Chain A
């Protein structure tokens, strides 16, 4: 079975400071990993994804994440945050199922990033 653990439910940080949002996964098979962001009163938007290849993945809005197979982690980072980065962030592991060959995401519980001026 696959699962995703986001270790911090809430991360407060000052504007222009660096931030890391932690994500660990468990899976017995090859994984595809995504990070999504949800701004207040909106749906989820894709930040970045890891499928294979380079373990450092760059996404939108200056975010990046590093896939670490030995530590089964996919932590999200940004060197300098803005007030506008205040949002909920979700890590997801994608599994392929037999039905129609579809890919199904399993999401973590989310991390609320709160950027203070």
Chain B
């Protein structure tokens, strides 16, 4: 069964810490995405990557950066975590093909205290 795996299900970090959220896919997909999910706001795109070392800002990139050194791995980095970054983070992958679906990981619930 194909998978998108997020390394942590729950994470608690302190304000000001540097936080890494890891995502790995085993489907050889070109595209990978990071979303944050908040109640009443749905999913909002933070960053996406369409190839190794290539990245594009989404709708809410402020306070985040990403890294894609290998095709299967896409990391989201919070340079200095803040309480307003407490959220559910979802990673997804896909191919650049019309109508191709998006495979999501189970999410990482991050709490910043």
* Residues of A near any B CB (own CB < 8 A): 6, 9, 32, 34, 36, 41-46, 49, 51, 90, 96-97, 99-110
* CB closest residue in chain A, given B4: A43
* Residues of B near any A CB (own CB < 8 A): 4, 30-31, 33, 35, 40-45, 48, 50-51, 54, 56, 90, 92, 94, 96-102, 104-107
Neighbouring B residues of A101 by C-beta, 8 Å = 96
Contact across chains for B106 and A45 when beta carbons are under 8 A apart = no
Contact across chains for B104 and A44 when beta carbons are under 8 A apart = yes
Contact across chains for B30 and A100 when beta carbons are under 8 A apart = yes
Contact across chains for B104 and A43 when beta carbons are under 8 A apart = yes
SS of B interface (majority): strand
Contact across chains for A46 and B56 when beta carbons are under 8 A apart = no
* CB closest residue in chain B, given A91: B42
Contact across chains for A102 and B96 when beta carbons are under 8 A apart = yes
A109-B54 contact in complex given A32-B98, A49-B99, A100-B96, C-beta closer than 8 Å:
no
